[in-house]
Amino acid sequence: MTETAAESAPEDTPPSAADATFWADVDRHVMRYGTPFTPRVITSASGSYVHTADGRRILDFTSGQMSAILGHSHPRIVATVRHQAATLDHLFSGMLSPPVVDLCRRIAASLPAPLEKTMLLTTGAEANEAAIRLAKLVTGKHEVVSFTRSWHGMTQAAAGATYSAGRKGYGPAAPGNFALPAPDAYRPDFTAPDGGLDWRRQLDHAFGLIDAQSTGSLAACIVEPILSSGGVIDLPPGYLGALKEKCEQRGMLLILDEAQTGLCRTGTWYAFERDGVVPDLLTLSKTLGAGLPLAAVVTSAAIEEEAHDRGFLFLTTHVSDPLVAAVGNTVLDVLTEDGMDRRATDLGARLRAGLLGLRERHQAVGDVRGRGLLQGIELVVNRVSKQGSDEMGALVTRRCLELGLHMNIVQLPGAAGIFRIAPPLTSTVPEIERGLEILDRAIGEVTPPFLQD
C-alpha cells in the first residue's frame, strides 16, 4: 500500500482552533473511565481505517473495541440499519419479532448440540452476568471460578469474575469468587522437564486450592478460550477438556466467554471447536454485532428448562431488540457467504509470519502468540528476564499512531508491553503488510535504548 501524504504527515503539529475547543470540552465535560483517550479527533471510519479531523487515515488494528470484524461502515450493515430503523427498531421486552427468532435459530444452527436456546442482550458484561446468574440458579450454588488474568465485564457478577484489573477501591466483591492461574506458556509457573509449562500439574494444584477454600457451593467456571485483555494467552490444546472434567467432577457448569474469539476471528467459527469441548453456556458479544451493541447467551434446552422452572429473571430494556438482531443476521450472512473463517485463517497466517519476522529482527519482541486474526506480541527489555517496560510499550504505541497505525497495548503487572492485534476480517493483504511495516519501524526506532544486556 502506498503511504499517502495524510498518513505520513507529522503528528506534532499544533492543534487547530476547533481541535483545541474539542479537547477543552473533553477536559471539562467527559468523564474518564479507565483508558487514556487517543489524542486524535475521530470524525468517521470506513473499512480498516478511522479518519481524523485533520484529514489523516489511521489503520485500525483493533477493529474498534475488538468488535468491528467486518470493518467500519460495512455497506451491508449500513443498509440493514437503515432498513430496520425505518421498519422496526425497539419493542416491549415481552414482544418478539422475526429478526430475533431468526437470529436465535441461526446461532443454534452454527453450534454443536446441545446448545440451542439463546437470549439476545446488548453487551458482553450483560451476557456474562446472565450466564453466571443462570448457572447459580440451575445448580443452586454460588461460587464462581475464573482466570487470574480474566476480563468478563464491569457489572456485578462479571466484575467479580474479573481479575486483570478494576478490583481495588470498590469494597468487597460478592463472596465465592476464586482465581484460577492463567496457563501462560511464556511465563510458566509449573514447568515440565523441557522447561515448558506443565499445565496439567498447574490445573491440579489450582483446583486443590479451590477445593480447600470452597464451602461446597461451586456453581460455575467462566473462561475465555484466548484471554485477550489478559495478554492474548491461548489455552494449551487439551486444557479446555481437562477443565471441563474438573467442572463435571464438582457439579459445576462451564461458561465460555467468546466475546472476542467467536464468529471466525480465530479461523474457526468458535475458538472452542479446536478442542472438541462443548460448554454448558456460551456467551457472545463484540463480534456478533460487528461493532453494534448485540450479545447473546446460548445454552441447552435442559438448562433453560430448569432455569425457567426455578423462575429465571433477567429482564432488560433492550433484550430481544429487533434492530440489532437484524444486524446480527447480516453479520452471519456475510461471514458465511464470504467464507470469513477461511479468510481469517489465511490472513492470520500471513500476520503471524510477519510478527515472527519482527521477533527475528528485534530483540525487544519476546513472544508471539494467538490464533487467526487475534494475535499478540510481548515486548521485553531482556529476553532472559522477560522484564517489560511501561514506558517502552507506551512509546511504541505512540509512534505507531504517529505513523498511521492504531494499536492496543495491555498493561499488566510484570508484563507491561503486550499488544493485542485484531484487524477486521475484511482486511486486505496490503493492509496487513502496511500494519506490519509500521509496527516494524516503530519498534526499531523506539526500543533500542531500552534493551538490557
Identify the CATH number of the domain in which residue 262 sits.
3.40.640.10
pLDDT exceeds cutoff 60 at 422:
yes
pLDDT for 9 beyond 70: no
234 lies in the same domain as 255:
yes
Would you say residue 5 has pLDDT above 60? no
Instruction: Report which of 114, 122, 110, 119 is spatially closest to residue 341, judged by C-alpha positions.
Output: 110
Q: Domain range spanning residue 420?
A: 5-67+340-450
Q: Are residues 224 and 257 in the same domain?
A: yes
Question: Is pLDDT at 101 greater than 60 in this prediction?
Answer: yes
The pLDDT confidence band at residue 391, using thresholds 50, 70 and 90, is: very high
CA dist 379 and 365 (Å) reads: 5
Do 308 and 385 belong to one domain?
A: no
Average pLDDT estimate for 19-30? 95
Any catalytic annotation for residue 23?
A: no
Least confident stretch, 99-103, 236-240, 387-391, 403-407: 387-391
Partners of residue 117 on adjacent β-strands: 299
CA dihedral for 130, 136, 137, 138, sign (positive or negative): positive
Among 311, 337, 363, identify where a domain stops.
337
Q: Which position among 257, 280, 304, 367 bears the catalytic label? A: 257
Annotated catalytic residue 224: yes
* 228 in the same domain as 274: yes
- Counting residues of the chain whose pLDDT is more than 70, the rounded percentage is 95
d(CA 371, CA 232): 9
Residue 253: which of 318, 209, 297 has the closest Cα?
A: 297
106 has pLDDT over 70: yes
Do 139 and 23 belong to one domain?
Answer: no
Contact yes or no for 423/407 (Cβ under 8 A): no
Catalytic residue among 286, 343, 352, 371: 286
The reply to whether 42 and 109 lie within a common domain is no
Domain end, chosen from 285, 310, 337, is at 337
How far apart are alpha carbons 286 and 63 in whole angstroms? Answer: 10
Mean pLDDT of 396-401: 96
**How far is CA 283 from each of CA 33, 35, 78, 256, 325, rounded to the nearest angstrom?**
24, 24, 25, 6, 15
pTM: 0.95
Same domain, 159 and 220: yes
Per-residue pLDDT, 414? 57
Task: State phi, psi for 367 to the nearest 5 degrees.
Answer: -150, 150
**101 and 50 in one domain?**
no
**227: phi then psi, degrees, rounded to nearest 5:** -75, 105
Which pLDDT tens digit goes with each residue over 192-250? 999 999 999 999 999 999 999 999 999 999 999 999 999 999 999 999 999 999 999 99
Q: Tell whether 332 and 349 lie within a shared domain.
A: no
| Higher-pLDDT residue of 416, 419 | 419
Same domain? For 216 and 289 the reply is yes
Helix (H) or strand (E) holding 46: strand 42-46
Backbone angles phi, psi at 323, to 5 degrees: -60, -55
| Mean local confidence (pLDDT), 325-335 | 98
**Average pLDDT over every residue of 280-297:** 98
Whether residue 114 has a cis bond before it, omega within 30° of 0:
yes
Residue of higher predicted confidence among 7 and 279: 279
For residue 269, indicate whether it is catalytic: no
351 confidence band (pLDDT: 50, 70, 90): very high
Q: In angstroms, rounded to a whole number, what is the distance separating the alpha carbons of residues 431 and 57?
A: 12
Q: Is 260 a catalytic residue?
A: yes
| Residue of 126, 224, 258, 431 marked active site | 224
**Is 94 a residue whose pLDDT tops 60?**
yes
Question: Does residue 382 surpass a pLDDT of 90?
Answer: yes
What mean pLDDT is predicted for residues 30-52? 95
Q: What is the pLDDT of residue 6?
A: 41
**Which residue(s) pair with 371 in the sheet?**
374
Domain boundary among 337, 365, 382: 337
Q: Kindly report, residue by residue over 118-156, the tens digit of the pLDDT.
A: 999 999 999 999 999 999 999 999 999 999 999 999 999
Catalytic position from the list 117, 151, 199, 399: 151
Task: Indicate which CATH number applies to the domain containing 351.
Answer: 3.90.1150.10
- Rg (the chain; Cα; Å): 22
Q: Looking at the structure, tell me whether residues 321 and 379 fall in a common domain.
A: no
Strand bridging mode 365-371 / 57-60: unpaired
Q: 100 pLDDT band (50/70/90 cuts)?
A: very high
User: What's 29's DSSP letter?
Assistant: H
Residue 1 — pLDDT band, cuts 50, 70, 90? very low
- In the predicted structure, residue 8 carries a pLDDT above the cut 70: no
Number of domains in the chain: 2
